[in-house]
Amino acid sequence: MTTLNPANGKVPGPPGAALPDGPLPVAPRRRRPLAPVLYRLIAPGARARAADPVPSALAPLLAAHRAACPHPDEAALLRGYRVAEELHRGQLRKSGAPYITHPLAVATILAGLGLDTTTLVAALLHDTVEDTPYTLGQVRADFGDEIAVLVDGVTKLDGERWGDRAEAETFRKIVLSAAADLRVLVIKLADRLHNLRTLGFQPPHKRARIAKASHELLVPFAERLGVHVLKREMDDLAFAAGDPGAHAATGRAVRAAMRGAPAAFGPAVTRLRGALAEHRVRADVSVRVSHLYAVHKATGGDLAGLRPCQVARLLVVVDGAERDCYVALGAVHAALHPISGRVADYIALPKDNLYRSLHTRVISPDGDPLEVIVRSRAMHPVAEYGIVAHIRDAAHRTGGEGTGAVAGRRDLEWLGRLLAWQSDAPSERFLENLRTDLAEGDVAALSPAGQIVTLPAGATVLDFAYALGPATGDRSIGALVNGRPAALSAEVRGGNVVEVLTDPGSVPSADWLDFAVTAPARVHIGQALARRGAEEAAEAGRRLLVRALARRELDLLAAEAHGDSLAVARDLGYLEVDEMYAALTAGTLDLADLLARFAGA
């Protein structure tokens, strides 16, 4: 069980929490030396002193953890809180509240999701390495490797050291850390959720920037993990911060539309319940209102005459196995006229984020199109909490011992895709590629051998080719889509069978970047073009040097054979002779200086 409030769909935070992003020290920030009291808190015997009075500020977190976790280690949680509170003492939020209220709120959000004690302790400590004298080595020594990995994963890189690359490299670090333990991403999401909840203390320009970054990067990560309970609230909070006028207008329009919900949904629900009973399927049928940002995107901001069926849908949660979901789908279609071609089967073919349900569009009794979702009761927690549900179940089964193994799973296709291209992407392009890769809308297509390839909406045959591997992409010349010839620029649709045609002599073309959508395709095309450009520049520089040396009756080929060219290149600071030749083409190396060096070699 979790403590999710079903009335508003929000994960609970501390009562009255309204605190902003970022610590604000009383004086210009200085890293204080560790206080003697901290050494007592982290000393080996500190674990045994769990009988000390529990601070009142910690009570809501402990209560949420006890309610959701069958094996809480309250002593570890108390120790983590005391260390974090001591380390952050003297740091303030922009509201003037003590900074410890932020990590405490993040941990409470995670406790509401039902996460294990290890994750909550890491959440309490997640800003200590970044904002206090506490080091990662000390975290590891005091709390163990598992917590140190989580804290390290969410710690931002030093802006002074990394400069303009800090944000991109921080997100690259998060991706790599998530490969080791997905709880890193879950903590980061809870951290951003609390910062969005408390954005009111930030100036307008910063609110807009944080809202934009949240929609482009953090919300998509929540979607990829399937943690929709976080995604929905983050979506709406970022919407409110980024476009408060549209947010307010959407809220008014949804409330007005839902006043007609009983008349719009009542007859459909009555028919559906009757059909389910006839098909001998036990299920709960409920009306689910879409969150505001989803309505805003679906309507394009055109809120005139918004109807109940545009802002809500029916959810059928079946008591039974997978096959009962298909029986229930038949009952839906028997009760309400189905719209042809509008059934999506995410049970047989789950989404990247582990989501499994059946979606269908039908005509309601009053003639409006209506979406109906069917899933089993076992599928429902995963549909709401995604990977968190799996982590939570592992903790419940093993007393917490199996949590790390589930959180370290690397079989998620989207994560494998990120890991495959991230190391090849330069810092200046990494965030752009990450935004593209995380963009909403997945399309599942098939190879002739039956391999499922998941691509973002709008992806092309070329993207499909690169998804099969860089070598296939580089040599692709076209495709057969459902048996018919198609260009590399053709858009791939869900369910398409795509056979990529290749030529061993084919190489990537610069115009491919005009229609390549996915990050793997764009990264590999960019690398191929850069390699070819470097080769052409090196060849042009070499030809220039050959002609100049020939006029002095010197032979470059002989100099290369004897190693003189490499010696000159190394003397000039180049690792390879081709780099030296390319520099000559670019004009960054003076030809006269180079000739003098060869003459003296």
Cβ-proximal residues to 448 (8 Å cutoff; 6+ apart), any chain: 497, 499
Nearest-angstrom CA–CA distance, 389 and 385: 5
Alpha-carbon distance 169 to 165, whole Å?
6
CB 525 within 8 A of CB 569: no
Beta bridge partners of 452: 446
Query: Strand, helix or coil at 36?
Result: helix
3 state SS of 424: coil
Report the C-alpha gap between 211 and 199 in whole angstroms.
Answer: 9
Question: Do 240 and 198 form a contact (C-beta atoms < 8 A)?
Answer: no
* Among the listed residues 101, 90, 102, 114, the one whose alpha carbon sits nearest the alpha carbon of residue 57: 101
Helices 461-468 and 519-550, axial angle in degrees (round to 10):
80
Q: Is-contact 422 172, C-beta < 8 A?
A: yes
- Alpha-carbon dihedral sign for residues 572, 573, 576, 580: negative
Please say whether the beta carbons of 405 and 414 come within 8 A.
Answer: no
Which residue type, as a one-letter code, is found at position 169?
E
131: phi then psi, degrees, rounded to nearest 5: -120, 5
361: β partners: 371
Alpha carbon distance 471, 367 (integer Å): 51
The CA-CA-CA angle for residues 88, 94, 97, to 5°, reads 55
Residues noted as catalytic: 130-131
Q: Exposure of 441 by Cβ count < 10 A (0-12 exposed, 13-18 middle, 19+ buried)?
A: exposed
288 and 315 Cβ atoms separated by less than 8 Å: yes
Give the whole-angstrom CA distance, residue 7 versus residue 183. 27
What is the 8-class DSSP label of residue 459?
A: -
- d(Cα 370, Cα 307) in Å, to the nearest integer? 11
- Pairing of β 452-456 and β 442-446: antiparallel
3-state helix/strand/coil string of 215-253? HHHHHHHHHHHCCHHHHHHHHHHHHHHHCHHHHHHHHHH
- 87 and 80 in contact (C-beta within 8 Å)? no
Burial of 562 (0-12, 13-18, 19+ CB in 10 A): exposed
